[in-house]
Amino acid sequence: MIEVANLTKRFGHFTAVDSISFRVEKGEIFGLLGPNGAGKTTTIRCLLTLTRPTSGEVNISGIDALKNPQQVRQICGYVPQEVSVDGDLTGYENLLLYARLYQVPKASRTKRIRDALEFMGLTERASHLVKTYSGGMMRRLEIAQVLVNQPQVLFLDEPSIGLDPAAKRMIWDYIIRLRDDFNATILLTTHDMLEADELCDRIAIMNLGKIAVIGSPRELKAQLGGDVISISTTASNCFGVLQRMGYQLLSSSRDGVCELIVKNGEEEIPRILEGLRQHGVATKSVSLKRPTLDDVFLKYAGVRIEEGEVSWKSARLTRRTIRRLRR
């Protein structure tokens, strides 16, 4: 459904997207996972013909996006990261506006709008001005806006950013239903590991404009080859000792924590601790977890996604936007 080959986008000397290639199949939920500034949004903007790629090819549903941008836009729907509903119009009007811009035939307009409102659970508030909506409702309305066009491909840029956990869950449920009920192909970007894990059939891990690896969350986690054990210690030689013992280490010690990947972690812990004791390394605590996408990201991108800091910052930005809109 979506084919991207060697897509590159430069802004001056800065390369935002660096020769990436991927395919998304029909009816798939595909995620671009990476920290802010990884080039996810720029990728989406290139696919949507909002910005012209420096080089590369983009094909959507068999249409060459560089040659026929309007045709591509006609079959796509885009929900940007920032709030994109108009607070000074009612919910219904926000949908009517897009039904008209997408040239939905007059005969089916009302029905499509009603269906989209119904689907996103907004029927009751349809005649209210959008500035009175909650953040979660605005996000749902944004999705409803593109639904009136019955798009074949949906682009969702950070669909749950800035939402509280309950609203987040709700949006995830809707995204899955969008795929199941409309057979839409969905490309989303996220820096939220959990979101990528729960929603996406496949993900591409993106960092510094490049795609590091593509696969299903399960595959990617399995490729790590075991459980993640974190050992907290005050000894500075812990890392070296573990290496000499032949373990595969995930990261160097940050704040005196060594992380390693082992098969059958539960059984391995006593052996590791015994080995460390023999080398005179005192340990403070040990923990074991199943690998997460964060660990996968660390393996391929070399850094943690720094979830906390980044998401907090952008969440604050989105919240501020919503607040401004609701004034």
Partner 1 sequence: MISALRMVNGILTITEFELRKVVHDSSQVFVRAIQPLLWLVVFGGVFGKLRVLATGSYSYLQFLTPGVLAQSVIFIAVFYGITLVWERDFGLLNKLLSTPVPHSSIILGKTFAAGVRSILQAILIFLLALAIGVQLRVDPLSVLGVLTVIVLSGMCFSSLSIFLASMLKTRERMMGIGQAITMPLFFASSAIYPVELMPSWLKVVALANPLSYTVDALRALLVTGDFSRFPRDLAVLILATVVLTVLATVSFKRIID
Q: Which residues bind partner 1 (CB under 8 A)?
A: 11, 48, 50-51, 70-71, 73-74, 76-86, 88-90, 93, 97-98, 100-103, 129, 142, 145, 321, 325
Q: Which is nearer to partner 1, 106 or 218 (CB)?
A: 106
Reduced to 3 states (helix: H, G, I; strand: E, B; else coil), residue 25 is coil
CB of 54 to partner 1, least distance (A): 13
Angle at 21 between CA 15 and CA 27, to 5 degrees: 125
CB of 288 to partner 1, least distance (A): 42
CB of 86 to partner 1, least distance (A): 6
Q: Which pairing describes strands 185-190 and 202-207: parallel, antiparallel, or unpaired? A: unpaired
Q: Which is nearer to partner 1, 127 or 243 (CB)?
A: 127
Q: Which is nearer to partner 1, 218 or 327 (CB)?
A: 327
Q: Is 82 left (phi over 0), alpha (psi -120 to 50) or beta?
A: beta
Q: Which is nearer to partner 1, 48 or 260 (CB)?
A: 48
CB of 80 to partner 1, least distance (A): 3
Distances from the Cα of 324 to the Cαs of 6, 22, 138, 317, in angstroms? Answer: 39, 38, 13, 11
Look up residue 165 and give its two tokens. 């956990």
- C-alpha 117/C-alpha 141 separation (Å) is 8
Name 45's Cβ contacts closer than 8 Å, sequence gap at least 6: 51
CB of 74 to partner 1, least distance (A): 4
Q: Which is nearer to partner 1, 130 or 296 (CB)?
A: 130
